[in-house]
Structure 1
Amino acid sequence: MARTRKLFAALTRRGPHQVLRGDLAFAGLPGVVYTPASGFNLPGVAFGHDWLTDVDHYVKTLEHLASWGIVAAAPNTERGFAPSVLNLSVDLGTTLDIITGVRLGPGEISVHPTKLGLAGHGFGGSAAVFAAAGLSGAASGAPKAVAALFPTVTKPGAEQPAASLKVPGLVLSAPDDLHSLRTDALHLAEAWKGSVLHVVSKAEASGLAEKRRFAKVLGMPGSDKKTQKTVRALLTGFLLFHLTGDKTYQEFADPEAVLPKTEVPDPDSVPATTEERIVALLK
């Protein structure tokens, strides 16, 4: 456990690589890409944003992944009031095609087509599941790992595609998810047999998004630095193990491991019904 805590602490900080920023628009898709300053055959991940949240709210998270040697790209699409989870999932697949199909940066950066992952926050977490299901039969470009970070309820729901996935998954949940009208982490993890579920201690499901300084003042979900710090470590360790095969980070993909800043999910817990969640909100 001491070794795991040391690894976790290291992963909460930026990694050893200098980071470059690029624009996906050069390939015809609005969005951003962050890469290590150099490196061939790197792992790569496409990241989906939450509802009504543009990718500028995930800059530090994307930079964090790049600093640990993972090319991280995020499409800046489907940002309207009624976005399509299916359209965003297609854009995530297109993002993977872009980062594997061209040399990035000054021509000294490339992504290996068998070291790909998908991740997303909230609405984007559910979109990542749909994208993984759509790419699962692809001869190339199929993801090796998928992370749904505090995934939210969508229409159509992500449980059905999750049930078909053979790819390893990481699902993060907040302690109050049982009574949330918006989040769907527990249902998703139950349907997705290859997933690892972690309840992040004292986390705020919407807190991963950055630069929401005045949101809480207005009664809206704001940023939470503690949530961001923990999630970045859990996500980075999970991706480094599955995308690079580095066994140093094996515990970050172990469903039996109790990682720092997480809680063991109650095996007897039952997600609240919609009626119960509404009552909880009104109390």
Structure 2
Amino acid sequence: MASKPKALLEELTHPGPYTVLRGNLALAGLPGVVFTPAKGLNRPAIAFGHGWLQPPGRYHGLLRHLASWGIVAAAPATQRGPLPSHRIFAADLSTTLDLVTRVRLGPGAISVDPRRLGLAGHSTGGGAAVLAAASGHPPVQAVATFAAAQTIPTATEAARKVTVPGLHLAAQGDLVAPAAGNAEAIAKSWGGPVQLRTLDKSSHLAITEGSHWSQRILHGKPHFGTQRLVRGLFTAFFLTHLTDVDKYRPLLDTGIKHAAIEFDPTLEAA
């Protein structure tokens, strides 16, 4: 049994069984990208918020990975300037979920179940995801973040209103959004079941892919080990909370190498 979480992580870090299609959210009225499994009705879906100054293209690998496991994954390409409106960005994430829920995707053989929605994000996109979840429109069932940053209004205060499960991953070497004032504060204010993990050998931009001019002013760079852990943990989290699959729960309940559990009231009470 001790090796089971490791085996589950190994399984989930590889692409899932579904062929993946890529689409353009702009066709539905909002700039951005959407990845879907090639077929399937009543799929779960997540909206993903990009980090400060980051284009959605730096997360295509993660979004494609989630889609390969049957989860529709969409990312709006809005509020990308140096002074973004976090409130509007949160609204755009909510609108993204509305769009993928209302229309048939791909060749018309793909649809989203409005009862199986989630939010995710990196940096300010993580904070905006918390704001969107707190708004309750549309209602979501799970929220996951990496290196979440504070927002205006604050994600920490908004977190008190979120009663669905939350998974917050912090980067040990993050000099942009250190865990103590960001991911940890959000997790400890969370209104529902929550878990905070620290990923070691990681930085603020570790989740991003490829190169981008923002690396000249932001600390950190892409890191394959971090990307692998985020893909595995996000996939386990959303499959567990947005579908009827319970197989991957042991991975969420156990500390794993390079991703120690720092805070989880449920496990502490057990």
The root-mean-square deviation of aligned C-alpha atoms, in Å, is: 1.9
Paired residue for 2:246? 247
One-letter identity of the residue aligned with 1:190: K
Shift of 1:215: 6.5
Deviates more, 1:194-203 or 1:114-123: 194-203
Structure 1 portions without partners, runs of 5+ = 268-283
Q: How does 1:59-70 map to 2 (within 5 A)?
A: 59-70=60-71
Match of 1:164 among 161, 164, 180: 161
Structure 2 portions without partners, runs of 5+ = 265-270
Q: 1:218 to 1:196 in 2, by over 3 A?
A: closer
1:98-128 Cα offsets, whole Å, 9 max, x none, are: 1110100000001111011000011100000
Counterparts of 1:190 and 1:134 in 2: how far apart (Å)?
Answer: 19
Q: How does 1:98-113 map to 2 (within 5 A)?
A: 98-113=99-114
Shift of 1:190: 1.1
Give 4+ residue runs of structure 1 displaced > 6 Å after superposition: none
Q: How does 1:129-168 map to 2 (within 5 A)?
A: 129-135=130-136, 138=137, 141-168=138-165
Q: Percent identity?
A: 44
Deviates more, 1:240-249 or 1:196-205: 196-205
Paired residue for 1:182? 177
Q: How does 1:210-249 map to 2 (within 5 A)?
A: 210-212=209-211, 220-249=219-248
Q: 1:80 to 1:216 in 2, by over 3 A?
A: closer
Q: How does 1:63-102 map to 2 (within 5 A)?
A: 63-102=64-103
Paired residue for 1:16? 17
Contact 1:46 1:119 in 2 (8 A): yes
Counterparts of 2:101 and 2:209 in 1: how far apart (Å)?
Answer: 27
Counterparts of 1:149 and 1:264 in 2: how far apart (Å)?
Answer: 14
User: Aligned to 1:35, what secondary structure does the other structure show?
Assistant: strand
Indicate whether 1:39 and 2:40 are aligned. yes
Paired residue for 2:198? 199
Q: Name the TM-score, length of structure 2 as normaliser.
A: 0.90
Paired residue for 1:123? 124
1:12-68 Cα offsets, whole Å, 9 max, x none, are: 111111100001101110000000011111110000000000101111110000001
Contact 1:213 1:223 in 2 (8 A): no
Paired residue for 1:28? 29
Shift of 1:251: 2.5
Contact 2:204 2:221 in 1 (8 A): no
Which is higher, the Rg of structure 1 or of structure 2?
Answer: 1
Q: 1:126 to 1:214 in 2, by over 3 A?
A: closer
Contact 1:214 1:222 in 2 (8 A): no
Q: 1:48 to 1:112 in 2, by over 3 A?
A: same
1:183-215 Cα offsets, whole Å, 9 max, x none, are: 411111111142111111222222111112776
Q: Name the TM-score, length of structure 1 as normaliser.
A: 0.86
User: Aligned to 1:248, what secondary structure does the other structure show?
Assistant: coil
Contact 1:241 1:253 in 2 (8 A): no
